[in-house]
Amino acid sequence: RDYLVGDSLLTEAGVQRLADPTVLLAFGRRFLLTHGDALCLDDTDYQRFRTQVRAADWQAAFLALPLDERQRQARAMRDASTRHQAAMPAEKWSDVDHLAAADWLAQAGAAVMVHGHTHRPALHALPGGGCRHVLGDWDLHATPPRARALRLNASGLAVLDLAAATPN
């Protein structure tokens, strides 16, 4: 899980941890990058879970468990989340609070937000003229396979369908 990624893994992978949120300055524009989960304000159950799993004592206790037990618990959490989502109509799923997202953009002096978490890839207009690009999850074993990314260049952001480029 993203909240359990430690400094040693980042170092080994040559990856830099970003604060959440982070402002990216590129091509003369400001982009706000965020996980997105902190903006799902109506999902109070998830916000409690988010607080719990980001607590240092919870993480230490979880990481002290044997690997097979951590994997079992992670599967159980994912399965419970999937069952919870399947039990309700899609329009009832908690999404990013648009007013909060617009406020974050204004505070960052940015017009574009990029986030994941909701895994409903789309481009959404926000109050005040900004927008948010939502990244989907990656699952090359799904039918159809899913793996999208965004490419940023001087022309702006473009969606790349990496799953379509993957040989079967």
Residues forming beta bridges with residue 122, ordered by sequence position: 134
Question: For residue 101, what are the domain limits?
Answer: 2-136
* For residue 90, pLDDT beyond 70: no
Say how many domains are in the chain: 1
Check residue 150 and give its pLDDT: 93
Alpha-carbon distance of 168 to 165, in angstroms, equals 9
- Domain-embedded: residue 74: yes
Residue-wise pLDDT tens digits, 62-83:
999 999 999 999 889 888 877 8
DSSP string over the chain: -GGG--HHHHHHHT-----SSEEEEETTEEEEEE-SGGG-TT-HHHHHHHHHHTSHHHHHHHHTS-HHHHHHHHHHHHHHHHHHHHTS-GGGS----HHHHHHHHHHHT-SEEEE-SS---EEEE-TTS-EEEEPPP-BTTSSS-B-EEEEEETTEEEEEETTTTS--
- Domain-embedded: residue 154: no
- Domain-embedded: residue 62: yes
Mean pLDDT of the chain: 87
- Domain-embedded: residue 166: no
Average pLDDT estimate for 106-122: 89
Tally the residues of the chain. Answer: 168
Check residue 115 and give its pLDDT: 92
**Which pTM was predicted?**
0.82
- Domain-embedded: residue 160: no
* For residue 92, pLDDT beyond 80: no
- Domain-embedded: residue 151: no
Residue-wise pLDDT tens digits, 129-145:
999 999 988 888 888 88
Check residue 93 and give its pLDDT: 64
Q: How buried is 125 (Cβ within 10 angstroms: 0-12 exposed, 13-18 middle, 19+ buried)? A: exposed
Residue-wise pLDDT tens digits, 22-66:
999 999 999 999 988 888 878 788 888 888 988 999 999 999 999
Check residue 108 and give its pLDDT: 97
Residue type for position 37: D
pLDDT grade, residue 164 (50/70/90)? confident
**How many CB atoms within 10 Å of residue 79?**
10
pLDDT grade, residue 1 (50/70/90)? low
- Domain-embedded: residue 153: no
pLDDT grade, residue 97 (50/70/90)? confident
- Domain-embedded: residue 162: no
Q: Which residue has the higher pLDDT, 91 or 114?
A: 114
